[in-house]
Homo-oligomer: A and B are copies of this chain.
Amino acid sequence: MSTIRQSRYAPDTSSGRYIAPLLKELRGNPLLWLLVFVPLVLLAQIWKPEAHTQLFALSIAAIVPLAALLSRATESVAVRTGDTVGGLLNATLGNLTELLIALAALRAGQYVLVKASIAGAIVTNSLFMLGASFLLGGLKHHLQRYNRESARMQAGLLFLATIAMLIPSVLAEADMRTGSAKLTNVLSVGLSVLLIVIYALWLVHSLKTHRELFVSEAHADAAESEWPLAVALITLAGVTVLVALVSEVFVESVQQAATTLGLSPAFVGFIVVALVGAAAEMTAAFSAARTNRLDLSVGIALGSAVQIALFVAPVLVLFSYVIGPTPMDLEFWRGAVGMMIIATMTAALLTNTGRSDWFIGALVVAVYVIFAMTLYLLPPRIG
């Protein structure tokens, strides 16, 4: 047996060794066929920079497969580098697509879009991705169970982040009254540092001191054949550059395209950008739910939301002092804060049993549909 296996892998010594896993991936995952749109969008941007709606559609079609490739590469590096380093990598690069899109928007000074996409990602992950996983899993399995300890802790982290984002929006009024614009900025930096510290402590807690509490969800998908480290690292670097380039196009075209399509900016940032950024994780979460590995689904959905709230968002605030035209704060549109609070409460209330069926999923998705419906109907000036 082992001889046969070795001989099977024997040809992998040439350069084919690096390309073969990618080709195999391409054959197995139809989502990746969308990669053809990557060169298309970059060329179109040069030839027709004024065709905003087409560029918007093309860049979405290009980001989705790149994001899938990116998270696949991160996964592979993580598995190859051992549990702790791997866990750290997943925890920092797991939402690289969202981070790259937001950085592009940050450099363009489009803070409304940055904030809408942050809030939207949190709400989309903790409501739609979680709810649809429950629903899809529940339609196949009568009753599903998952580690509620982990879900509870992540709901707690989301709760903390939501409070941190609520305070500046409440204080903004006080700010206006005193006329000093500094207060919200100072507070936002303080809150960002606090969130990153808590995120770091959370990693220590879940990867080091109390890892036994979260054991069931760790690398439940390690069974997949992983890429060699070199392939994974090169893919990671190359795709990162591509996502950054396509994100530029996306951010430049989104505003104009929204106006043309009659969509409010709030709807685009909250729903469209968030769904595009999370598409790759969603396919993973949904397929895990269908195969009754609900721990993995819940881990991806809530873990992603936590990462964006406690790592991506505060990092963007701190980065804005370096790369943005002016400092960005943590003051969100009131409606966005309200939706984050409701999403967190829903996740906290519904996950505290550790059980799910299709109806619980439908209920969570319904909350998301209410938000999407509302944002779609919002007049363009709000949000």
Contacts and interface: CB of A to CB of B under 8 A. Distances in A.
Interface of A: 142-143, 149, 152-153, 155-157, 159-160, 163-164, 167, 170-171, 174, 177-178, 180, 183, 186-187, 190-191, 194, 198, 201-202, 204-205, 209-210, 335, 338, 342, 345-346, 348-350, 352-353, 357-360, 362-363, 366-367, 369-370, 373-374, 377-379, 381-382
Top 10 A-B pairs, shortest CB-CB distance: A205-B359, A178-B379, A174-B382, A190-B373, A167-B374, A198-B366, A187-B377, A201-B362, A156-B363, A183-B377
Contacts of A210: 142-143, 357, 359
Nearest to A202: B359
Contacts of A362: 198, 201
A183 B357 CA distance: 34
Contacts of A201: 359, 362
A178 to B, nearest CB: 4
Contacts of A359: 153, 201-202, 204-205, 209-210
A359 B210 CA distance: 9
Contacts of A183: 377-379
Nearest to A378: B174
Contacts of A163: 342, 367, 370
A210 B353 CA distance: 16
Contacts of A381: 177-178
Contacts of A180: 379
Nearest to A342: B163
Contacts of A369: 194
Nearest to A193: B373
A205 to B, nearest CB: 4
A334 to B, nearest CB: 8
A382 B172 CA distance: 12
Contacts of A342: 163
Contacts of A187: 373-374, 377
Contacts of A194: 366, 369-370, 373
Given A167-B370, A335-B170, A360 B186 contact: no
A233 to B, nearest CB: 32
Contacts of A190: 373, 377
Given A167-B370, A178-B381, A379-B178, A152 B198 contact: no
Nearest to A366: B198
A157 to B, nearest CB: 7
Contact of A357 (B171, B205, B378): B205
A370 B167 CA distance: 8
A363 B358 CA distance: 32
A363 B163 CA distance: 12
Nearest to A164: B370
A336 to B, nearest CB: 12
A151 to B, nearest CB: 12
Nearest to A186: B377
12 contacts: A155-B349, A156-B350, A156-B360, A160-B370, A164-B370, A167-B370, A187-B374, A191-B370, A194-B370, A202-B359, A205-B358, A210-B359
